[in-house]
């Protein structure tokens, strides 16, 4: 993955800059071509000559120090790079990149590059937890940057906690893993539905359910990170889709979701129905707000269409995945749903289990495919589970599920 790649290493002014020397050395030993760009502050910790000797390339610090009159250095380096690694990344460089500042060689190059950007932060534990740093990191993730989390341990400032630059070999491993994952779904179109639907009774009242949309959004983000183009059909939720490859379509009712899913179905390679679609809607929707009356109020409900079943009927090569929330005979009921709706795989939640189900950040489920291969997914964050599910799907499509890992 790293061999023959052009890698720009951005070194910023933190004590962990000394570890960037081993990082550059390891990258070179693994066959990468490396150019180092330093901030002025970084040169307080390590001399440019060290990086020049390790990379056997000139080191860039000053935007106006043009080494070759035929080229504009920051654009040249930005275009040359396949991968950018910021290590160590201080709170300052994270803030500058999140806000588009370009006041030195490193920041101008970062704005100009189209390469994949990996950021390995290193700072004091309280700085790392500061809301502005957290917000800036979130912004960068939403724009497609990938963070390599710092480890916990002794920090140069004397504190013990999270903030220590990840070890150089672990940084390279994380990048290799991410590059591999990124290509798993490249060229694929993934259609995901998420969240609840709302079925209006009158202009101010509706029937809905507790779905937060978190699982569906996590799936959309995982698919986008694996290189897919994602169309996310979302019911009313408060979430933001955090990836530039996600096109979001907002719907409210089951009928609108049916329409949106069918419009995009033909062009999709993978379709995942993680939405909690209303099975019933009021038979009549009142145009004016209903005034309360003495006595009871009965509302007649009628069935909505089963979107997933209709997609199953019209399937032409799409890999169709459903979700099932079960409380008893979990696997049997899930498998019956898979067959009834002509699915390729189903993710079955036992919603009686702690940590599984609707509103929380965690889930616990089983992935089952048409040939009855089953993979248990232990309790984990919806984000991690979504990455696992997308990996299973990518492998399953190639007939290579095994144990999925
Ligand atoms: N689903 C759908 N359209 C509906 C209802 C459900 O597309 N009107 C999809 C869900 O998005 C999910 C799957 O069907 O992927 C399973 O939904 P669920 O409600 O658990 O199962 P049902 O098949 O409706 O069966 P039951 O209510 O009997 O459990």
Burial class (CB in 10 A: 0-12, 13-18, 19+), 212: buried
In a domain, 217, yes or no: yes
- Asked if 108 and 226 sit in the same domain, the reply is no
| pLDDT of the residue at 154 | 84
| pLDDT of the residue at 52 | 98
The mean-pLDDT minimum among 108-112, 120-124, 156-160, 396-400 falls in 156-160
The number of folded domains in the chain is: 2
- Asked if 218 and 287 sit in the same domain, the reply is yes
In a domain, 84, yes or no: yes
When computed from its CA atoms, the radius of gyration of the chain, rounded to whole angstroms, is 25
Strands (E), 122-279: 146-147, 151-154, 160-164, 189-194, 199-202, 205-207, 229-234, 246-250, 270-273
Alpha-carbon distance of 95 to 114, in angstroms, equals: 19
Per cent of the chain over pLDDT 70 is 98
| pLDDT of the residue at 358 | 67
Quick one: residue 268, left, alpha or beta (phi over 0 = left, psi -120 to 50 = alpha)? beta
Cα(216) to ligand 1 centroid in Å equals: 14
How many other CB atoms are found less than 10 A from the CB of residue 276? 23
Average pLDDT over all residues of the chain: 94
| pLDDT of the residue at 105 | 97
Domain with 65, as residue range(s), is 6-182
Question: Which atom in ligand 1 lies closest to the alpha carbon of residue 340?
Answer: 23
Q: Which residue has the CA at smallest separation from atom 9 of ligand 1?
A: 308
- Asked if 161 and 219 sit in the same domain, the reply is no
pLDDT of 325 above 90: no
| pLDDT of the residue at 160 | 82
- Token digits of residue 50: 């060290």
In a domain, 28, yes or no: yes
Where does the pLDDT of residue 146 fall: very low under 50, low under 70, confident under 90, or very high at 90 and above? Answer: very high
Pocket residue to mutate for ligand 1, from 195, 253, 324, 328, most atoms within 8 A of Cβ: 324
Q: Which residue has the CA at smallest separation from atom 18 of ligand 1?
A: 324
- Asked if 11 and 133 sit in the same domain, the reply is yes
Cα(337) to ligand 1 centroid in Å equals: 8
- pLDDT: which is higher, 104 or 403: 104
pLDDT of 354 above 80: no
- pLDDT: which is higher, 359 or 91: 91
- Tell the residue number behind the tokens 């930005």, with chain if given: 78
Alpha-carbon distance of 141 to 153, in angstroms, equals: 24
User: How far, CA to CA in Å, does 302 sit from each of 34, 207, 208, 252, 394?
Assistant: 64, 12, 14, 17, 37
Alpha-carbon distance of 231 to 248, in angstroms, equals: 6
Say what the pTM is: 0.78
Question: Which atom in ligand 1 lies closest to the alpha carbon of residue 279?
Answer: 8
| pLDDT of the residue at 54 | 98
pLDDT digits (tens, 9 = 90+) for 37-53: 999 999 999 999 999 99
Cα(324) to ligand 1 centroid in Å equals: 7
In a domain, 288, yes or no: yes
Is the CB of residue 355 less than 8 Å from the CB of residue 362? yes
| pLDDT of the residue at 404 | 52
pLDDT digits (tens, 9 = 90+) for 218-263: 999 999 989 999 999 999 999 998 788 999 999 999 999 999 999 9
- Asked if 30 and 50 sit in the same domain, the reply is yes
- Asked if 117 and 248 sit in the same domain, the reply is no
Sign of the torsion formed by the C-alpha atoms of 70, 73, 74 and 78 = positive
pLDDT of 34 above 60: yes
Cα(309) to ligand 1 centroid in Å equals: 8
Is the CB of residue 272 less than 8 Å from the CB of residue 343? no
Closest by CA to 11, choosing from 104, 106, 96, is: 106
Domain end (from 123, 148, 182): 182
pLDDT of 327 above 90: no
Q: Which residue has the CA at smallest separation from atom 25 of ligand 1?
A: 337
- pLDDT: which is higher, 291 or 362: 291
In a domain, 1, yes or no: no
Q: What is the DSSP letter of 401?
A: -
Helix/strand number for the chain, H first, E second: 13, 19
Question: Which atom in ligand 1 lies closest to the alpha carbon of residue 278?
Answer: 8
Burial class (CB in 10 A: 0-12, 13-18, 19+), 208: middle
Per-residue exposure over 110-145, b if at least 16 CB sit within 10 Å of its own CB, e if not: bebbebbbbbbbbbbbebbeeeebeebbebbbbeeb
pLDDT digits (tens, 9 = 90+) for 288-321: 999 999 999 999 999 999 999 999 999 999 999 9
pLDDT of 21 above 90: yes
* Torsion angles phi and psi, residue 160, rounded to 5: -115, 125
Catalytic sites, residue numbers: 157
CATH of residue 375:
3.40.50.10300
Q: What is the mean pLDDT of residues 361-371?
A: 89
pLDDT of 356 above 90: no
Beta bridge partners of 196: 276
- Asked if 17 and 145 sit in the same domain, the reply is yes
In a domain, 405, yes or no: no
- Asked if 50 and 154 sit in the same domain, the reply is yes
Domain end (from 137, 163, 182): 182
Pocket residue to mutate for ligand 1, from 198, 279, 346, 368, most atoms within 8 A of Cβ: 279
- Asked if 107 and 202 sit in the same domain, the reply is no
Classify 314 as helix, strand or coil. Answer: coil
Where does the pLDDT of residue 357 fall: very low under 50, low under 70, confident under 90, or very high at 90 and above? Answer: low
CATH of residue 157:
3.40.50.1950
- Tell the residue number behind the tokens 């993955």, with chain if given: 1
Where does the pLDDT of residue 364 fall: very low under 50, low under 70, confident under 90, or very high at 90 and above? Answer: confident
In a domain, 403, yes or no: no
In a domain, 404, yes or no: no
Q: Which residue has the CA at smallest separation from atom 24 of ligand 1?
A: 279
Cα(261) to ligand 1 centroid in Å equals: 15
Domain end (from 134, 160, 182): 182
Q: Which residue has the CA at smallest separation from atom 4 of ligand 1?
A: 306
pLDDT digits (tens, 9 = 90+) for 272-283: 999 999 999 999
Question: Which atom in ligand 1 lies closest to the alpha carbon of residue 311?
Answer: 7
User: How far, CA to CA in Å, does 152 sit from each of 27, 44, 141, 274, 384?
Assistant: 24, 25, 21, 35, 20
Cα(325) to ligand 1 centroid in Å equals: 8
- Asked if 87 and 66 sit in the same domain, the reply is yes
Is the CB of residue 344 less than 8 Å from the CB of residue 369? yes
Instruction: Tell me which residues have their CB closer than 6 angstroms to ligand 1.
Output: 254, 273, 275, 277, 279, 304, 306-308, 322-325, 337
- Asked if 109 and 20 sit in the same domain, the reply is yes
Alpha helices in 146-237 (DSSP H): 168-184, 214-225
Question: Which atom in ligand 1 lies closest to the alpha carbon of residue 276?
Answer: 11
- Asked if 170 and 228 sit in the same domain, the reply is no
pLDDT of 206 above 80: yes
């Amino acid at each position: 993955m790293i061999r023959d790649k052009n890698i720009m290493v951005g070194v910023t002014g933190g004590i962990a800059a000394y570890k960037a020397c081993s990082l550059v050395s390891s990258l070179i030993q693994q066959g990468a071509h490396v150019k180092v760009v330093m901030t002025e502050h970084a040169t307080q910790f390590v001399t440019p000559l060290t990086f020049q000797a390790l990379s056997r390339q000139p080191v860039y610090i000053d935007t106006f120090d043009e080494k070759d009159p035929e080229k504009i250095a920051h654009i040249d380096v930005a275009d040359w790079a396949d991968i950018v690694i910021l290590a160590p990344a201080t709170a300052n460089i994270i803030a500058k990149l999140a806000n588009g500042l370009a006041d030195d060689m490193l920041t101008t190059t970062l704005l100009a590059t189209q390469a994949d950007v990996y950021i390995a932060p290193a700072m004091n534990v309280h700085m790392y937890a500061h809301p502005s740093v957290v917000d800036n990191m979130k912004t960068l993730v939403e724009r497609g940057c990938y963070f390599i989390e710092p480890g916990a341990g002794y920090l140069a400032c004397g504190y013990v906690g999270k903030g220590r630059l990840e070890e150089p070999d672990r940084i390279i491993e994380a990048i290799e893993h991410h590059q591999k994952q990124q290509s798993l779904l490249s060229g694929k179109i993934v259609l995901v539905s998420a969240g609840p639907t709302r079925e209006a009774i009158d202009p101010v009242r509706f029937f809905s359910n507790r779905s937060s949309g978190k699982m569906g959004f996590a799936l959309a983000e995982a698919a986008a990170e694996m290189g897919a183009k994602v169309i996310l059909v979302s019911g009313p939720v408060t979430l933001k889709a955090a990836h530039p490859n996600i096109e979001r379509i907002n719907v409210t009712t089951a009928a609108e979701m049916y329409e949106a899913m069918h419009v995009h179905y033909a062009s999709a390679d993978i379709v995942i129905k993680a939405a909690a679609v209303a099975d019933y809607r009021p038979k009549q929707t009142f145009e004016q707000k209903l005034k309360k009356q003495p006595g009871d109020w009965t509302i007649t409900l009628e069935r909505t269409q089963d979107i997933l079943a209709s997609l199953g009927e019209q399937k032409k090569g799409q890999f169709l995945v459903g979700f099932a929330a079960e409380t008893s005979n979990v696997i049997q009921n899930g498998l019956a749903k898979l067959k009834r709706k002509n699915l390729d795989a189903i993710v079955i939640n036992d919603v009686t289990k702690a940590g599984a189900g609707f509103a929380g950040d965690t889930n616990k489920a089983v992935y089952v495919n048409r040939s009855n291969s089953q993979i248990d997914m232990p309790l984990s964050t919806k984000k991690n589970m979504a990455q696992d599910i997308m990996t299973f799907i990518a492998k399953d499509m190639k007939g290579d599920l095994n144990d999925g890992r």
